[in-house]
A and B are shown apart, each in its own frame.
Chain A
Amino acid sequence: MAITGEIFRQNLTELLEESPSGSPELHVLAVDDSLVDRHVIERLLKVSSCKVTVVESGRRALQYLGLDGETGSLGLDSTKVNLIMTDYSMPGMTGYELLKKIKQESSMFREIPVVIMSSENVLTRIDRCLEEGAEEFLLKPIKLSDVRRLKDFIMKGKVKEVEKKSLKRVRSIDCSPPLSATYSPISLPCDPSPSLLSPLSSKKARL
């Protein structure tokens, strides 16, 4: 049980950054041209225990991710982003255009979920964004419950990824049980039986 827990934690921290307290944190990149909205979204995310980077334009977002063709890949492990939240209506590059650029990437950046935020409930706009691969379309003003829901959704996705990895690793560890029927007082370090799922699901509940 202890080994599976450790492998799980290692895998999760590979995918997420560690906060100062040691627990994995979601890193969100928020993009909005409105000063007020940048402050609000930053606060919403911090209150929801996320690491936040806020930028004012699509161009700056691409720069941050290293996708603007100028900075190139500078070993951007420190800027691992788990979610992008972008306003739709922005001067220069709209949120939709930013979404397209990210989804056109042939690298892992394409995998980053992108959420569009807009104050306008325009069906064609919503459809277009979802078709282009947006995870969700949120109506402004964004609520705390929206952020919490998003976070849960992203974390569940991460847990599923990690579960798959952990199951593969543990199965490959040699853990053959003793052939004799006598009960051994020494407990085995791991148990590749169906009960494997319970320590993982209890971890899931903790997240």
Chain B
Amino acid sequence: MDRNQSRRQIAAMKQSLFDQGLLDEQFIQLEELQDDANPNFVEEIVTLHYRDSSRLISSIDQALKERNPLDFNKLDTLMHQFKGSSSSIGAKKVKAECNLFREYCRAGNAEGCMRSFQQLKKEYAALRKKLEAYFQLARQAGPQETACRSK
């Protein structure tokens, strides 16, 4: 695949993620912080987010198992952290699911929490898969493709 084709494919992939409502403006903000000295900044941040997410998802799963009754405060606190991390990388849809979950927490709705958490995990997995493909393509094409800041 030649350079131009790669560039077009990456741009199309990115546009699609925005069109599907998976990413928001924050992702662009992060790209603007990349330069020749830090060409993979966004991928680094997203990787840190995956680390956070794995830990938090695991904790929330565990907390949801400890029923009778559910500790809604604990769940809300954990989800607040997950929401923050998602928001920081521009994960728009996942963030919306986090908000829904927190609403169920505040309403003390255990069923709602569990349902929305299942949905959230699906959204997170889908986004992660797409981002991994995106960054792989970007890396193959070379640093010029994602770096935005001019010197």
Contacts and interface: CB of A to CB of B under 8 A. Distances in A.
B84 interface: yes
Contact of A141 (B26, B35, B44, B49): B26
A89 B45 contact: no
Contact of A35 (B30, B41, B48, B87): B48
B33 A36 contact: no
A47 B87 CA distance: 21
A43 B38 contact: yes
Contacts of A1: none
23 contacts: A34-B81, A34-B85, A35-B48, A35-B51, A36-B48, A36-B52, A37-B84, A37-B88, A39-B45, A39-B48, A40-B30, A40-B33, A40-B88, A43-B38, A44-B33, A47-B35, A47-B149, A119-B87, A141-B87, A141-B90, A144-B29, A144-B32, A144-B33
A140 interface: yes
A91 B88 CA distance: 19
Interface string B98-115: 000000000000000000
Contacts of A141: 26, 29, 87-88, 90
Contacts, number: 50
A89 B38 CA distance: 29
Interface residues of A, number: 15
A140 B48 CA distance: 18
Query: In this complex, which of B26, B44, B83, B90 has the most chain A Cβ atoms within 10 angstroms of its Cβ?
Result: B26
Contacts of A35: 48, 51-52
Interface of B: 26, 29-30, 32-33, 35, 38, 41, 44-45, 48-49, 51-52, 80-81, 83-85, 87-90, 149
Contacts of A44: 33
Q: Interface on chain A toward B: helix, strand, loop, or mixed SS?
A: helix
A165 interface: no
Contacts of B44: 39
B88 A34 contact: yes
A39 B46 CA distance: 11
A21 to B, nearest CB: 15
B83 to A, nearest CB: 7
Contacts of B48: 35-36, 39
Given A35-B51, A36-B85, A47 B80 contact: no
A36 B26 CA distance: 13
A125 interface: no
A181 B118 CA distance: 90
A169 interface: no
